[in-house]
Amino acid sequence: MHWEKIDFEEEEDDKFFIIADVDKGQTDVKWSKLSGIRPFHDYYLKLETQEDITDQVIGSLPASGAMEDAVVRLVLEYPRAWAPLIDDRTIQEYASDAFEFHFVKRPQMDERMRLPQDQSVGDLTPSELLEKFWQASHVPEEDVKALQELAAVILQEEAEDGETGEAIRVSTQEEMPAQ
């Protein structure tokens, strides 16, 4: 028989029942600790890198067998942009032995990139703006270099096309011909 805890605030609390023998003018109370209480396990993980996110999440949980018949909660904080990298199905499967598994995701909004007071967006080159975007998006430094090199090629090709009069024009929907 399992005795139930109500919520995670009771995770560390012992549970008791009382047997009271009540007579006129005399009461005897016996406290008895309950055993077999379903365990509650509460975990927290803040992702600092987007490398192997699913492995990081699973690594923050106990072995699958240790969660058997327990109520388990994992609170996960991560940059909002990393949400597609989280493999919910694999994580849920790993915790399938738990009586209940609560996977609480808390995506964090990135702080806005602030430029120094003496600088405006118009002062930055497209390459510099793109580099600031990569930084704000928490792209790993080794990837930023490769992305910047690729962007430089694209920007160079665009500049060359512009010089020969073959610039690509972006049209708004109002400018699109009727179909």
Task: Summarize pLDDT for 68-85 with one digit per residue, the tens.
Answer: 888 899 999 999 889 999
**Higher pLDDT among residues 101 and 119, named by residue:** 101
pLDDT at residue number 130: 83
Sign of CA dihedral 121, 123, 129, 133: negative
Query: What whole-number distance in Å separates Cα of residue 12 and Cα of residue 30?
Result: 22
Whether 72 and 58 have beta carbons less than 8 Å apart is answered as: no
Let me know: does 43 contact 60? Beta carbons within 8 Å.
yes
Q: Which residues sit opposite 29 in a β-bridge?
A: 20
Distance of CA 29 to the CA centre of its chain: 49
Q: Are strands 71-79 and 100-108 parallel, antiparallel or unpaired?
A: parallel
pLDDT-derived band of residue 10, with 50, 70 and 90 as boundaries? low
Structure token digits, residue 122: 């118009």
* The token pair that represents 112 in the structure block: 């806005």
